Amino acid sequence: MNKLKFYLLIATLAIVSSAKADEGMWLLQLMQQQNSIDMMKKQGLKLEASDLYNPNGVSLKDAVGIFGGGCTGEVISPEGLILTNHHCGYSSIQQHSSVENDYLTDGFWATSRDKELPTPGLKFTFIERIEDITDLVNQKIAANEVSETDAFSNGFLSKLASELLSQSDLKDVPGIKPLALPFYAGNKFYMFYQKVYPDVRMVAAPPSSVGKFGGETDNWMWPRHTGDFSMFRIYGDANGNPAEYNESNIPLQTPKHLAISLKGLNEGDYAMVMGFPGSTSRYLTVSEVKERMNSTNEPRIKIRTARLNILKEVMNASDKTRIQYANKYAGSSNYWKNSIGMNKAIIDNNVLGTKAEQEKRFAEFAKAQNNQAYMDVVNEIDNTIAITAPIKYQMTALIETFFSAIEFSTAYPVMEDLKTALQEKNKEGIDKNINILKQIYDRIHNKDYDHEVDRKVAKELFPLYAEMVPADQRPAFYSIIENEYKGDYNKFIDHMYDNSIMANQTNFNKFIKKPTVKAIDKDLSTSYSREKFEKYQALSESLKDSDDKLLILHKTYIRGLGDMNAPTPSYPDANFTLRATYGTVKPYSPKDGVFFSYYTTTDGILEKENPEDREFNVPAKLKELIINKDFGRYAMTNGDMPVCFLSTNDITGGNSGSPVLNDKGELIGCAFDGNWESLSGDINFDNNLQRCINLDIRYILFIVEKLGNCGHLIDEMTIVE
């Protein structure tokens, strides 16, 4: 299909059936072309496209940004106050926590500006502008300046983005970072001009008994009673420009902030989410879905289950360890449970059958069009997946075990450079590499690392990996374990964790005092680290040709699917770029005889309370407020206090923290989860089951005012009653 036909495909509006009305992570810059704004208006939106995205003026997109590196946040006051999820701010809360100041357990409330905590490493990113650069990329491909495959590469896109920024009127604006990305599997390319603020301070975080109420038990589940929110503030220099932390920095005076509605919700009300969905794979074939299940999800589930069991045990035994590993545990368990739920939902929701039916229709369409590329593409994808699936299983097992779960390692390239410097008696090189090793040692043995906990994890996972991967496919150090340690994993691990150069301060100090080639050569952690990287590189190399081939095959397949479905507008897979999704407030029925209301109240918190279970503890003050119905202006008309609500918005990871907006663009909640029954939604959207779980803004403000005693934060917000 030529470029004009593809443009017409994504630009033309068809009458979209109500069954699919809520599906879609729509690109803001295409709302007019695709007429998705008209679909939103039919659903109830009272705003214009320019109110959502206006490259030449202020719009809602100027109040929404990337929080940290993987979540969404929104500005809720004219002084840079950010709302996001508690689980998005969790690493920052943990970063500031200690046994003496346990903000994870007790919560944190900055009762004045001078008590807001600088959070090194935390950034907030706005989108200044979005440009279509498809023609430019295609011109470079046509001129043989870049291959069709390399046009997807980070190297090419980063270089192109830098060149475009150098030619832009934004080139001298502080904090601007360029980003170029492919969309529609490389049928389109867009350039994003991001503005990054590096001084973000922690303002408010409820105790985990509120922010993580329900813990892993309730994760991905409904009904939900989790107060999943935290608040931060953006600071800039005196001119409002991005600046590294400085005491003289001031709260950012933002051009746009979200007004907050306390009017309440009813079933059928319009709901819109704006944010940065991370990754979806809606255009996979049957073989690719099976590969996801068997080569990615299954080994991840097995390895993370083993690690999480150990972490839970050691965290329950020590407050120090609990704080150290809280963020690691939360990060690992989230997609552990997601993988379990996804595999279950793929079967329960007949996703494989749906994909097979799509492939059948596509084959009929391709034959009718007499398009050989379309006729061949699914079979070519299947043949390629037959090659990649076993390799990706190995890759998942390797990464999950030796790069994610087991933390202890040695920077073997630095050791090799030091070894060379020692052999050449190059004092400058020796000093340089020893200084690098000092920094690496400090990074390994940071405040959130416990060598004995990691040893325990290693002793569990080394033999587990051996059960999962045949001997001839394992890293070379398994031969050392077999031959030199008689297959005794514990003996090998104890030797490495006790005697390696980087294992402890005593060993390290002894080595840097008198470094030798011999010490490096016999260092077990150095050889272990080298060999796990060598295995990773070998697997990556064996996947390269197939992965490159799949890039072009997907480009053809997705173009073909769009052609088949024309003139219905399509949206590209999520890739952590700014999107809008629209829907309604709506209950659901997951199975026969079961009906879930669209909202929950604080009554459910007391019903779930279990003082013997950390996941279901209720703070005494909150319990008192609930019992006394001391909800102030945040209660519903019947006197109940709402907590969470459901909407039909199409979201995924990365949308965590996204604002949920009403028909006037006012904030009514904060998105934080999806529901268990639709965890196959990243692969196939199901309008009957897919629900977005949101925290009601009224519960957020109730907690801030009544539990946190931070009425001053509410005073700086714009509230509509």
Residue 592 structure tokens: 């026969």
Determine how β-strand 594-596 pairs with β-strand 124-132: unpaired
- From residue 713, give the alpha-carbon distance in Å to each of 104, 112, 254: 21, 9, 16
Q: Residue 132 pLDDT more than 60?
A: yes
Q: What percent of the chain has pLDDT over 70?
A: 97
Give the mean model confidence (pLDDT) for residues 153-174.
97
Euclidean distance between CA atoms 399 and 335, whole angstroms = 15
- What pLDDT is stored for residue 12 in this prediction? 36
DSSP 60: G
What's the whole-number average pLDDT of the chain? 95
Beta bridge partners of 195: 126, 176
Residue 413 structure tokens: 């390239």
- HEC sequence for 555-595: HHHHHHHHHHHCCCCCCCCCCCCCEEEEEEECCEEEECCEE
Residue 364 structure tokens: 């009929």
The runs of H, that is alpha helices, within 194-318 are 208-211, 215-218, 286-291, 298-317
The pTM of this model reads: 0.93
- What pLDDT is stored for residue 34 in this prediction? 80
Query: pLDDT per residue over 45-67, tens digit each?
Result: 999 999 999 988 999 999 999 99
Cβ atoms of residues 226 and 644 within 8 Å: yes
Query: pLDDT per residue over 105-120, tens digit each?
Result: 999 999 999 999 999 9
- From residue 384, give the alpha-carbon distance in Å to each of 291, 470, 537, 552: 11, 22, 20, 12
Phi, psi of 307 (to 5 degrees): -65, -45
Phi, psi of 35 (to 5 degrees): 60, 25
SS3 for 222?
A: coil
Query: pLDDT per residue over 632-669, tens digit each?
Result: 999 999 999 999 999 999 999 999 999 999 999 999 99
Segments of the chain assigned to CATH 2.40.10.120: 1-109+201-233+255-277+573-721
Numbers of helices and strands, H then E, in the chain: 27, 23
Cβ atoms of residues 429 and 421 within 8 Å: yes
Q: Residue 19 pLDDT more than 80?
A: no
Query: pLDDT per residue over 295-322, tens digit each?
Result: 999 999 999 999 999 999 999 999 999 9
Query: pLDDT per residue over 324-381, tens digit each?
Result: 999 999 999 999 999 999 999 999 999 999 999 999 999 999 999 999 999 999 999 9
- From residue 490, give the alpha-carbon distance in Å to each of 306, 379, 460, 496, 507: 16, 47, 9, 10, 20
| Sequence-ordered strand ranges (E) for 97-228 | 108-109, 117-118, 124-132, 176-183, 188-197, 199-205
- What pLDDT is stored for residue 173 in this prediction? 96
- From residue 89, give the alpha-carbon distance in Å to each of 73, 277, 476: 10, 17, 40
Among 714, 677, 670, 715, CA closest to 226 = 670
Q: Residue 35 pLDDT more than 90?
A: no
Q: Which residue has the tokens 């552990």?
A: 336
Q: What percent of the chain has pLDDT over 90?
A: 94
Cβ atoms of residues 325 and 454 within 8 Å: no
Domain 1-109+201-233+255-277+573-721 belongs in CATH node 3.40.1550.10: no
For residue 6, name the pLDDT band (cuts at 50, 70, 90): very low
Q: Which residues are catalytic?
A: 87, 228, 656
SS3 for 428?
A: helix
For residue 459, name the pLDDT band (cuts at 50, 70, 90): very high
Residue 395 structure tokens: 């890759």
Give the mean model confidence (pLDDT) for residues 530-553.
98
- Examine residue 251 and say whether the peptide bond preceding it is cis (omega within 30 degrees of 0): no
Residue 274 structure tokens: 């704006």
For residue 568, name the pLDDT band (cuts at 50, 70, 90): confident
- What pLDDT is stored for residue 185 in this prediction? 97
Euclidean distance between CA atoms 714 and 697, whole angstroms = 12
